[in-house]
Amino acid sequence: MSLKLGDTVPDFSQVSTAGPFDFYDWAGDSWVVLFSHPRDFTPVCTTELGAVAALKPEFDRRGVKVVGLSVDPVDSHARWADDIAETQGHALNFPLIADHDRKVSELLDLIHPNASDTTTVRTVLIIDPAKKLRLTLTYPASTGRNFAEILRTIDSLQLADRHKVATPADWQQGEDVIIVPSVDDETARALFPGGWKAAKPYLRTVGQPT
């Protein structure tokens, strides 16, 4: 199944390091980051799992649940978890789905046969509380992902949902944001009574709403 932005991510069940994993029940009304990785006991993946474990408080603070996935079996995940704790200084603190029969990988299009027909690619899905897909990105196996960028994107999405704003290139927390084009100036005056800067009529920036 090829999922596109705005599609509803379907429910699924699979085994995980935290026991049986029923996606919708587990997600509840939280945001979700689901990330797939190629294999257990591989170096880049080991660093990624450690990085996400270290950032777990940041995901929690934003109301985001995190789950990893690969096609390795759950006993392999459990043994690998010891290595992650030992080498990365952070033990796994989120579930890792063991998609041994590729049921979820095929459902979510996480195997790209021309890259590898046996392992999952390095994909990230950000899913909102309504189970809509809000971001998808896929990295090559040889490049570990930047999870600070995933947090930055979550901040941008949550701001956009709350305040009718968008974020410019390379935006970071606390910097000015953009008033979206669908908000006309009259509506903007009510939403942003402190005013805004307009470099062009369509390019209006305002301090980050709190």
Distance of closest approach, residue 40 Cβ to ligand BEZ, in angstroms = 9
- Pairwise CA distance, residues 183 & 159, whole Å: 15
Min CB(141)–ligand BEZ separation in Å: 3
Q: List the alpha helices (DSSP H) in 23-71.
A: 23-27, 43-61
Q: In Å, what is the CA distance from 116 to each residue of 38, 68, 103, 109?
A: 9, 19, 16, 13
In the bound complex, what is the minimum distance in angstroms from residue 72's beta carbon to ligand BEZ?
Answer: 12
Nearer to ligand BEZ, 3 or 141 (CB): 141
Total of residues contacting ligand BEZ (CB under 6 A) = 8
Site for ligand BEZ, residues 39 to 58, rule: CB under 6 A? 39, 42-45
Catalytic residue among 32, 33, 44, 45: 45
Nearest CA to 42 among 98, 69, 80, 99? 80
Give the interface segment with ligand BEZ, choosing from 35-43, 126-134, 157-165, 183-191 (CB under 6 A): 35-43
CB contact at 8 A, 132 and 7? yes
45 flagged as catalytic: yes
Chain centre to alpha carbon of residue 144: 14
Interacting residues toward ligand BEZ by CB under 6 A: 38-39, 42-45, 141-142
